Every structure is written in C-alpha cells, then in structure tokens.
Amino acid sequence: MAVLFAFMLPGFALKKLKLFGEGATVTLSNLLLYVCQPALAINSFCVFSEEDYAVVQAIKKTVFLKNFAITAAISFAAMGIMFALCKLVFLRYKRKDAANVYTYIAVFSNCGFLGIPFVEAFTDGNPVAVMYMMVFNVVFSIMCWTFGVALITGSVKNIRLKKVLLNPTVISNVVALALFFVPQINIFMLDGAEQLRMLPQYLSYMTAPLSMIIVGVRVAEMDFKSIFGDKGSYFAGFLRLAVAPFLTLALALPFRGVLGAGAASGFEEFVYISPVIAMAMSPAASVLAMAESFGGDTRTAASGFVSGTVLSLVTIPLVITAVAAIFGISA
C-alpha cells in the first residue's frame, strides 16, 4: 500500500512544477484504459513460467470452465447487488454527478493491482488461484464498460453494445480466454517466444504506475480539505471496504455449501475466495481514468479514491484475516 502511494509522487511533483500540460491526464488515461489494462488480461491468462505452465496444463479444461463459471456468477451477483444498493442509498443525493462517482467507488475495486498480489501472497504465487482472480477481472471489465460508463456519464444512453464488444479491454479478455482454453494457439507459450512475452508483461506492469501518476496530478490540483473533507467519500469507502466484501462472502458461501467444500480442494477454494478478496480491495484506480476520459467529476473521483485507499490500510488486513479464518487458510 505504501508503494501504491509512492507511485503518486511523480505526477504530483510534475504538476506542482508545472511540467504537466493540460490534456496530458486524458492521454495517460486513454493509454491506461485501452492499452495497459488489456495487456494485463493477456499476461495473466497467456504468459506463464515453464513450471507454472505445467501446473495449469495438468488440470482438465472442463474443471477450469466449471470453476470459472462459478467465480463469474459470484462476481456478477456481487457487483450487481452493490450497484442496486448504492442507487437506493444515493437516490436523494443532490449532487448526482458526485453520487454516481460514489457508486462507482463502492461497486468497483482495485482488483487488478491489489487483488492479484494479495492472492499471490496467499498461495505463494500459485497460477491457478491467480486465474480465478482474473476471472473476477473479466467480469469487472464487462461491468466497468457498461454500468461504469453509465455512472460516470450519467446516462445509459452512452452505453453502446458495439462499443462494449469492440472495446480493447473486452476484446483482450476474449482473446486471452481463447488462447488459454486452446493452448495450441497460445503464441506466447511457443518455444522461442520469450521475447514476445515481454510485450504484454511490460505493458501490464505499467498499469499501477500510470493509474497513480494520474491520481497524483489530480491531488496536486486539490487542497487538503478537498481530499479528506468530503463526507460522501468516506461513506462510499465504507460501502466499498466493509459492505461489499461481506456481501460477496454471503453470496459465495451458499455456492460452496451446495457444491461441498470437498469439491474445491486445495487452491480451488479460491473459486469462492477470490471474489471476496477482490471486493475487499480499495477503490478502483480506474475511477479517475474513467472520469478523465468521459467527462465525469474528477475532483470527487480523486478524493474518493485517495480517502478510500487510506481507509483500506486498516480494513483490508481485517477482512483478509476474517476470510482466512472462515475458509481455514493461514493468512
């Protein structure tokens, strides 16, 4: 989390030194949304070390398909219910643009940059557990480019099926899943393709720095009161960090109960755990990128993201400890 905040410093400094021109944040936001995030999907599903690839190949694809479907169902349900809940909570809020940003913060988590490292730490880098987290990211991408766009722009009219289907993030997820389920065409794992793997790897590594540089620029434009004085941001943070993960847990446990804990042995427990961990993360860094790209409330997005991330320093360890105890895993 300290590293997450450290990435803000270059953007903050450049803006204060007046070396960051107008319109630069929009350019960086587009680079993040349309290049780096798609690369993250390709990297997670298609690029493995030789040892990890052997582990993945040893599991039947039908097992993966079933488990991916369960994780996706839990993820869709969790985000959908949170969206409906937030629309009710902020129904009478006078500042509709701010209310929409608060809802985005409550619904969408920083599942990519934070969720994946947490799962890696839980499982000592097991690639199978990480892929269940990436299934959540696939659902996140679909929801983000439909419900998320509607929230930031304030209208469902801005959702176009063609734009959703042809969105680079959605396309990359489809391509990544196709390459994963048909390993014979996974060009990134062919012999002699080591140099080719660097393309999605390096671009995906840029996701976190770019996200936080954009936040740093926006923070530099605001005073302390604007960042930490917005009460609505704290309430949105409470929904994101406390309500969302335990709501997801309440959805995951029945799935596990019906199928039986024995049906998910070893790292397959993360079929159920991954959505809970993902929903326990701090607000999605993409909230500011989306606000920049689609003309949303950038100030509320910046303050909500920063205050929510600060609060997550306390809440994430507590939630992760509780989840580990419930599922009998050593945290």
**Helical residues (DSSP H) of the chain, grouped into ranges:** 2-6, 8-16, 24-31, 37-46, 50-57, 61-89, 96-107, 116-123, 127-143, 149-153, 161-165, 168-181, 194-205, 207-220, 224-228, 231-238, 244-259, 270-279, 286-294, 298-327
Out of 153-157, 223-227, 312-316, pick the least confident. Answer: 223-227
Q: Taking Cα atoms as reference points, which of 224, 274, 295 lies closest to residue 109?
A: 274
Give me the mean pLDDT over the 294-305 stretch. Answer: 86
Q: What is the pLDDT of residues 115-164, one digit of tens each?
A: 777 777 777 777 888 888 889 988 998 898 888 888 888 877 777 777 77
Give me the mean pLDDT over the 186-201 stretch. Answer: 88
Give me the mean pLDDT over the 198-217 stretch. Answer: 85
Report the pLDDT value the prediction gives residue 141, as an integer from 0 to 100.
85
* Side-chain half-sphere exposure of 232, counting CA atoms within 13 A: 23
Report the pLDDT value the prediction gives residue 266, as an integer from 0 to 100.
52
In contact, 329 and 256? CB cutoff 8 Å: no
Q: What is the pLDDT of residues 66-102, one digit of tens each?
A: 899 999 999 999 999 999 999 898 888 888 889 999 9
CA distance 26 to 153: 15
Q: What is the pLDDT of residues 249-291, one digit of tens each?
A: 999 988 876 665 444 445 678 888 889 999 999 898 788 888 8
Give me the mean pLDDT over the 206-214 stretch. Answer: 82
CA distance 205 to 222: 28
Type of residue numbered 181: F
In contact, 38 and 177? CB cutoff 8 Å: no
In contact, 114 and 283? CB cutoff 8 Å: no
CA distance 38 to 173: 7
Q: Residue 165: which residues within 8 A CB-CB, separation 6 or more?
A: 171
Residue 34 has pLDDT above 70, yes or no: yes
Q: Which two three-digit tokens encode residue 271?
A: 């079929």
Report the pLDDT value the prediction gives residue 198, as an integer from 0 to 100.
92
Q: Radius of gyration over alpha carbons of the chain, in Å?
A: 19
pLDDT above 90 covers a percentage of the chain that reads: 21
Report the pLDDT value the prediction gives residue 262, as an integer from 0 to 100.
44
